[in-house]
Amino acid sequence: MVDLLDLTLPELEQWLQERGEPRFRAVQVWQWLWQRMARDFDCMSNVSKACRALLAAEARITWPEVARVQESTDGTTKFLLRLEDGAMVETVLIPSDSRDGVRRWTQCLSSQVGCAMGCTFCATGSMGFERNMRMGEILGQILVARAHLGDDRPDWPILRNLVFMGMGEPLLNLTEVMRALRSLNDDRGLNFSPRRITVSTSGIQKGLKELGESGLAYLAVSLHAPSQELRAKIMPRAARWPLPDLLAALKAYPLKTRERITFEYLLLGGVNDQPEHAEALARLISPLKAKLNLIVYNPTPGAPYSAPSEAAVLAFEQALWQRHITAIVRKSKGSDIDAACGQLKAQNRAD
Ligand code: SAH
Ligand code: SF4
């Protein structure tokens, strides 16, 4: 039985046409699914009774099930979600400062159950890879979040931005992630323009090229080290694509007007947070149209790292500014609820 959330709009059109439904039907159903967040067919009041019966007999709508919600004192809200086969993934809602009294949100999405990249600092990486998420599961995270926020006005959404920075390496689940991005872009559906979406990658050659050519999202690259040698220690599998080659690909990466590549640099105490690292990093990225997010490491049990000292973080940031690199320390949100990638799932296992 097909899950309607797994069909793109053209696929839904074809599916309905094959069953004798008129062409306009697909858009009606699509709007119910993605804008009005329907979870059953009965509520689809402008869809004929016959069609609703057909849908009930041959299709389903499966949202991820919320297994656990944790809210941080700063508003960051983390969901542990159970997928149909029992697989668990996480998604996080991060509040942005409110203008005009209305709080807006950014959602951090997972794209795989687990991750094959095995970065040494990452809770998801330590779990290994279970499976790819399907389009409906990826986008289902957004439905859960919008329902939680009561975000039901497609013309004025308070869920403003999406970042693929949850569990998994999105560019290793390229087919489903690209389908999700295309569906997000549809203004009769979730209506997220590419400027409101960022895909974060540890650097996957084939996927990077395809994402760039599609123009469907902004790009963030997890760098975490200024040299091939150190990067190979911190993220051994990602570093199989040598740093000079990754940077050459990024130089050639197609950017939109005013777009810059975001580099993410996780500061690990005593490992990559010293002045010489800042200097090498500045040299490395200054030829690129880029900005830098410095992320303070959130300790994960069992990982061989500690958080950097506050003084080291400040000095690192200043060294970059002096070299005219736009570097911003990302305030660690939700650290009281282990909001870093994979941590809630890891903790749940330990419970
Ligand atoms: N696989 C992709 C996207 C998901 S990971 C990638 O690696 O880019 C996204 C981010 O989570 C990484 O950039 C990393 O900086 C962050 N992260 C992982 N573990 C963390 C931890 N323990 N503390 C802080 N940030 C962490
Ligand atoms: Fe995978 Fe990203 Fe974690 Fe590395 S940091 S193990 S690529 S999820």
**In degrees, to the nearest 5, what angle opens at C-alpha 28 toward C-alphas 58 and 147?**
85
State how far the Cα of 257 lies from the Cα of 259, in Å rounded to an integer: 5
Block means of pLDDT (10 residues each) for the chain, 351 residues, are: 97 98 97 97 96 98 97 93 97 86 93 97 94 98 97 87 96 98 97 96 97 97 98 98 98 94 97 98 97 93 92 97 94 64 53 38
For residue 250, the Cα-to-chain-centroid distance in whole angstroms is: 20
Transcribe 280-297 into DSSP letters.
Answer: HHHHHHTTSSEEEEEEE-
State how far the Cα of 105 lies from the Cα of 42, in Å rounded to an integer: 31
Q: Which residues contact 98 (CB under 8 A, 6 or more apart)?
A: 104
Predicted local confidence at residue 345, as pLDDT: 59
| CA nearest neighbour of 339 among 162, 161, 155, 167 | 167
Verify whether residue 115 is a known catalytic residue.
Answer: no
Q: Is 204 close to ligand 2, i.e. is its CB under 6 Å away?
A: no
State how far the Cα of 91 lies from the Cα of 78, in Å rounded to an integer: 6
Residue type, 289: K
Pocket test for ligand 2, best of 89, 199, 202, 231 (most atoms within 8 A of CB): 202
Intrachain domains 2-60 and 65-337 with the same fold: no
What is the pTM for the complete model shown? 0.95
Verify whether residue 108 is a known catalytic residue.
Answer: no
Query: Of 90, 137, 176, 264, which one is the catalytic site residue?
Result: 90
Q: Write the CA distances from 137 to 62, 285, 306, integer angstroms.
A: 8, 35, 34
Q: Which residues does a 6 A CB cutoff place in the pocket of ligand 1?
A: 121-122, 165, 169, 200-202, 222, 264, 266, 295, 297-298, 300, 340-341
Predicted local confidence at residue 342, as pLDDT: 54
- 2-60, which class in CATH? mainly alpha
Domain ranges of the chain: 2-60, 65-337
State how far the Cα of 189 lies from the Cα of 26, in Å rounded to an integer: 11
The 3-state DSSP class for residue 156 equals coil
Domain 65-337 has CATH 3.20.20.70: yes
